[in-house]
């Protein structure tokens, strides 16, 4: 496949391994300060689905970043995220998005709702003091020369017994942040970005970006 030719004098391009416009916008501004143009996978329609079969968030992020760097000849960034519940030995973890695929969907239910239903059932008898959890994001950057960087961001919280809030997605309605007294689904987008695991991972990546690209 290979990269598309760069125009003379153009900013170097970095590929974010997603087609999610929101994720691309989130990193585009900060990376612009390093003279980088961030593009998503829509710029490379020949790249299909990448199987994420790693045992950790870091492994999955690296799988995606390596595949995209190899396919495009450009530096690639990828991430993997999920919810880890202490009482469930870290589950659903890397299986967060597919956690309830073994259950049938109820009428009017979507996958997020089904995942929450399964999780709350698994935690039904767990006392309040043993409902600790955390959102985790791992980000990986891979250069065409094989140099790699991984960072992690975590957002600690408590798992509620019932959903609250209508913002966000995934497990946000049952993830309670005691520092602000609200669930992730009760925060505005700006508030969530400032506190979230993904925001913390992005900050860690940007803090090391100059050294990573300059080495």
Compute the distance between CA of residue 130 and CA of residue 78 in angstroms, rounded to an integer.
32
The reported pLDDT for the residue numbered 89 is: 97
Could you give the number of structural domains in the chain? 1
1, part of any domain: no
Query: Is 2 part of any domain?
Result: no
Average pLDDT over residues 93-100: 96
Is there a domain that residue 8 lies in? Answer: no
Alpha-carbon distances of 54 from 1, 51, 59, 61, 198, rounded to whole Å: 24, 9, 5, 9, 19
Q: What is the pTM of this model?
A: 0.89
Place of tokens 């970006």: 209
Q: Kindly state whether residue 92 falls inside one of the protein's structural domains.
A: yes
* pLDDT-based confidence at residue 2 (cuts at 50, 70, 90): very low
Asked if the structure places residue 125 within a domain, the reply is yes
Q: Is residue 4 part of a domain?
A: no
Domain range for residue 165?
13-214
Give the pLDDT band of residue 10 (cuts 50, 70, 90). Answer: low
Domain at 185, CATH number? 3.90.950.10
Least confident of 64-68, 187-191, 201-205: 187-191
User: Does position 3 have pLDDT exceeding 60, yes or no?
Assistant: no
For residue 73, is it within any domain?
yes
The per-residue DSSP string of 20-63 comes to -HHHHHHHHHHHHTTT-EEE-GGG-TT--------SSHHHHHHH
Catalytic residue, from 79, 80, 172, 177: name it.
80
Active-site residue flag, 80: yes
Residue 3 within any structural domain of the chain: no
Q: What is the DSSP letter of 12?
A: P
**What pLDDT does 117 receive?**
98
**Cβ distance 39 to 13 under 8 Å?**
yes
- Per-residue pLDDT tens over the stretch 73-87: 999 999 999 999 999
Looking at residue 79, its pLDDT comes to 95
What b/e readout covers 52-88, taking b as 16+ CB neighbours within 10 angstroms?
bebeebbbbbbbbbbbbbebbebbbbbbbbbbbbeeb
């Amino acid at each position: 496949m290979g990269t598309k030719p760069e125009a003379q004098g153009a900013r170097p391009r970095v590929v974010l391994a997603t087609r999610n416009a929101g994720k691309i916008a989130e990193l585009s501004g900060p990376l612009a300060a390093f003279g980088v143009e961030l593009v998503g996978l829509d710029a490379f329609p020949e790249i299909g689905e990448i199987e994420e079969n790693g045992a950790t968030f870091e492994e999955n992020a690296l799988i995606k970043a390596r595949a995209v760097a190899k396919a495009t000849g450009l530096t690639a960034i990828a991430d993997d995220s999920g919810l880890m519940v202490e009482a469930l030995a870290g589950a659903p973890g890397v299986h967060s998005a597919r956690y309830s695929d073994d259950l049938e969907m109820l009428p009017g239910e979507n996958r997020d709702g089904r995942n929450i239903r399964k999780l709350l059932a698994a935690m039904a008898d767990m006392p309040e003091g043993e409902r600790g959890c955390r959102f985790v994001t791992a980000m990986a950057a891979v250069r065409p020369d094989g140099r790699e960087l991984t960072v992690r961001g975590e957002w600690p919280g408590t798992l509620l017994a019932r959903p609250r809030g209508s913002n966000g997605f995934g497990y946000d309605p049952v993830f309670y942040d005691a520092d602000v007294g609200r669930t992730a689904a009760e925060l505005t987008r700006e508030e969530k970005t400032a506190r979230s695991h993904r925001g913390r991972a992005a900050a860690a990546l940007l803090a090391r970006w100059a050294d990573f690209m300059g080495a």
